[in-house]
Amino acid sequence: MFDDIRPHLVELRKRLMVIVGTLIVFFAVCFYFHEILMAWVDAPLREVLSTYPESKLISTQTGGTFFVAIKVSFFAALLFSIPILLWQVWLFVAPGLYANEKKTLLPFIFGGTTMFTIGVMFAYYIVVPYGFEFLIAFGYSANYTALINIEDYVGFFTKIMFGFGLAFELPVFSYFLALLGLIDDRMMKDFFKYAVIIIFVVAALLTPPDILTQLLMAGPLIILYGFSILIVRVVNPAPPEEDEDEDEEEEDEDESEGLDQDSEK
């Protein structure tokens, strides 16, 4: 049994080594430019804080800024590694696919990278500014001055960025699951009411504890789910219900005929 899965384990180790090596290279480059990256990361917050003169972005730990630089560099390395990561995932699963399915390599890499980037940009330019504007303004109206810890902010920032990036991959994953025949549009329609609940739970876990940012995440996800249904309908439409009823009737007839023959014997 182990001999059967040994080639797959060897291939998996090869792909993981490429991914890890890519991350290390990108991390080294990103850490060299960490000041530029950190300025990009805290730019949305600094713009919000500029309207509240007494509010500041601070660090409460001796080595806090250093560890923030490491976290930001690793976050940037992951972003830049997305195309190669998707490529390695595809190379791992490609041997089990048909020739026509292997032709979707470029759409998979391009589509996955594009949607992830759109999700990150949506979070950066809309969710983060509006979310922190709401939270800081709420505290300011109650006569509280916001002293934002950079460590906490970067933790929120990276979680929101990756949350939106992964969430926007929904149409891409739906497309390839439909291509493999694992889902159809009727299955997604039937699952919609449960998907809405899951979306709001995920939005609550990945965003700051305010209703505005949760809605800013849940709303686009629900729209993307509807868009995914349209994609799946084109790629792998569900058979008409009449055909399914006819198939069930034929199966019932075959079973009844088999029982009659058994009773005659």
Is the backbone of residue 143 left (phi > 0), alpha (psi -120 to 50) or beta?
Answer: left
- N-term to C-term CA, the chain: 44
Q: Where are the beta strands (DSSP E) in 2-158?
A: 56-58, 147-149
> By percentage, how much of the chain surpasses pLDDT 90?
17
pLDDT at 21: 93
pLDDT value at position 106? 74
Cα distances (Å, whole numbers) of residue 181 to 5, 105, 236, 242: 24, 17, 7, 20
pLDDT in tens, 46-55: 888 888 777 7
At 232, give phi and psi (nearest 5°).
-65, -35
Length of the chain: 265
Tokens, residue 219: 């709303």
Residue from 147, 167, 182 nearest 57 by CA:
147
Beta-bridge partner residues of 148? 57
pLDDT on residue 17: 92
Average pLDDT of span 149-170: 87
Mean pLDDT of 227-252: 71
**Look-up of token digits 């505290």:** 139
**Pair of tokens at residue 179:** 């291509």
pLDDT digits (tens, 9 = 90+) for 184-226: 888 889 999 899 999 888 888 877 666 777 888 888 889 999 9
Per-residue pLDDT, 1: 52
Residues 138, 208: contact at Cβ < 8 Å?
no
